[in-house]
Amino acid sequence: MTTKRSVVVKIGSALLANQDLLTPRFGFLQRLLEDINRLRADGYDVIVCSSGSVALGLRLMGETPESAGLSDKQAAAACGMPVLLNAYRQVGHEFGMEIAQVLLTLGDFEDHRRFLNTRNTVHRLLKARVLPIVNENDTITTEQIRVGDNDRLAAKVAQMIGAKDLIILTGVDGLYDRNPDDPEAVFVPEVEDVSKYMQATKGKSTLGTGGMETKLLAANMAQEAGCTTWIAQGEADRPLSTVLSGERRATRILPHPNPMSGWDSWIANRLQMAGSLSVSKAVANALTSGERPICRDDVVSMDGDFARGDVLHIYDGTGIERARGLSDFSSEELRVLLSNPDTDEQQLLGYRTKGEIIRSNNLVLLENRHLLWDAPEGVN
């Protein structure tokens, strides 16, 4: 496993693809990979989370970003991925750089075994001095089973490999306290609490799937893993090293001073909600001891269809999210248990159990460190 300082770089579609021609922007790639080569020579390990496959494939499919539907975009991703990788490879070979493709789906992050397998693969590539180019496998994903944006994908990769820095290159020079088109907008150089700026971050680019909102969501994930996030303009001669050295303007989002363990961070930082439980406020308050599980009798209501081992979001009686934890039961089993509160668990399920839905060591309290998720309709 690598012990070098790791940097994850997220590149937006607008930087990689010409918006009118939908072809690779080789000038940008030249500057980017030259700078990556410089960082690697200085002792950094670099992982690139690259958008661009859909954008580069749309022209081959005879579609535009405005006209393309889901199946068009899936087919465009299949066409555009070899174009994207070939562009990286052509430029990378100028610097003696070998390129590897790592295609991921939501399940590679949400299933812990697949998460670990993916981490091992990325570390092995880094050990071999191969540059991993990570992207979501847009060819097979749908809205229900996709990460949805490469900002959060990059944050999960940063968490996965223990990166110290996440650099998000975009079309603006960082975060502003409101829409940067507003003449009174003020640049924000440093952020501790991203929640203060969420309302100022709506909107997205034409080619991309995310805007500043997804970048702050990603930064919040990175904070919990002890990773600094940088949001910076991508059009620079040395787009990465000048950010890390402080030579040019960028927004720096500080890591939490007491980062979570890898296990707790994996539980707490979710990309989609598998399911949720509602407990009373008294039970939610009792969880703060860190030693109390969530038991069958604690549950007021549940929502979602989930499997054993999925992470559930825990809400108190007022609809405020308080914790996240690993379920010891499937939703089908839990519905049986909750519908028959006076019947023994073994009689209902056919095996012996203590009735602990989430064990205390698989439960993570949010404690105002995370951006909270709204409760599903009917959960309070």
Q: Highest-confidence range of 11-15, 79-83, 239-243, 271-275, by mean pLDDT?
A: 239-243
Write out pLDDT tens, residues 85-107: 999 999 999 999 999 999 998 88
Distances (CA, A) of 280 to 284, 286, 312, 331: 6, 10, 16, 20
Is residue 236 predicted with pLDDT exceeding 90? yes
Which residues neighbour 296 within 8 Å (Cβ) at sequence distance 6 or greater? 337, 338, 341, 345, 355, 356, 357
12-26, 70-84, 144-158: least confidently modelled range: 144-158
Q: What does the alpha-carbon distance between residue 299 and residue 228 come to, in Å, rounded to a whole number?
A: 37
Q: What number of CA atoms fall less than 13 Å from residue 18's CA on the CB side?
A: 9
Q: How far apart are CA 208 and CA 202, in angstroms?
A: 13
Q: How high is the pLDDT of residue 8?
A: 98
Is a pLDDT exceeding 70 seen at residue 142? no
Domain 273-365, CATH number (from 2.40.50.140, 3.40.50.300, 2.30.130.10, 1.20.272.10): 2.30.130.10
Q: Could you tell me the two tokens for 25? A: 């922007």
Q: Is the pLDDT of residue 299 over 60?
A: yes
Would you state the structure tokens that stand for residue 44, as one six-digit string?
A: 């950094």
The pLDDT tens digits for 249-295 are: 999 999 998 888 889 999 999 888 999 999 999 999 999 888 899 99
Q: Which amino acid is at 337?
A: L
Q: Express as a percent the part of the chain with pLDDT over 90.
A: 64
Is the separation of the CB atoms in 19 and 58 below 8 Å? no
Extract the tokens encoding 245.
């050295």
Cα–Cα dist 275/330, whole Å: 10
d(CA 380, CA 368): 19
pLDDT at residue 191 tops 80: yes
Mean pLDDT, rounded, of the chain: 90
In the chain, how long is the greatest CA-to-CA distance? 71
Chain region(s) in the chain for CATH 2.30.130.10: 273-365
Pick from 121, 84, 74: which is nearest to 102 by CA? 121
Q: How far apart are CA 328 and CA 333, in angstroms?
A: 10
Q: What pLDDT is stored for residue 202 in this prediction?
A: 60
pLDDT of residue 230: 98
Mind listing the pLDDT tens digit for each residue in 97-137? 999 999 998 888 889 999 999 999 999 999 999 999 999 88
Q: Is the pLDDT of residue 145 over 50?
A: no
**% of the chain exceeding 70 in pLDDT:** 93
Say whether pLDDT at 143 is over 80: no
Strand 275-279's sheet: what is its strand order?
Answer: 299-303, 275-279, 311-315, 321-326, 363-365
Q: For 322-342, how does the pLDDT look when each residue is reduced to its tens digit (9 = 90+)?
A: 999 999 999 999 999 999 988
Q: How many degrees, rounded to 5, is the angle at CA 132 between CA 91 and CA 158?
A: 130
Question: 256-271 burial, b if ≥16 CB within 10 A, otherwise e?
Answer: beebbeeebbbbbbbb
- Gap between the Cα atoms of 48 and 7, Å rounded: 9
Give the pLDDT confidence of 209-223 residue by residue, as tens digits: 457 888 999 999 999
Alpha-carbon gap, residue 142 to 145, rounded angstroms:
5
Domain with CATH 3.40.1160.10 in the chain: 5-264
Q: Do 106 and 272 form a contact (C-beta atoms < 8 A)?
A: yes
b/e map 285-324, b = 16+ CB within 10 Å = eebeeeeebbebebbeebbbebeebbbbbbbbeeeebbbb
CATH value of 5-264 in 3.40.50.12780, 3.40.1160.10, 3.40.50.920, 2.40.110.10: 3.40.1160.10
The confidence band for 247, taking pLDDT boundaries of 50, 70 and 90, is very high
34's CB contacts (< 8 A; 6+ apart) are 95, 238
CA nearest neighbour of 341 among 292, 298, 293, 283: 298
What is the band of 141 on the pLDDT scale with cuts at 50, 70, 90? low
CB atoms within 10 A of CB 98: 12
**CA-wise closest residue to 270 among 106, 150, 129, 83:** 106
Average pLDDT over residues 335-358: 89
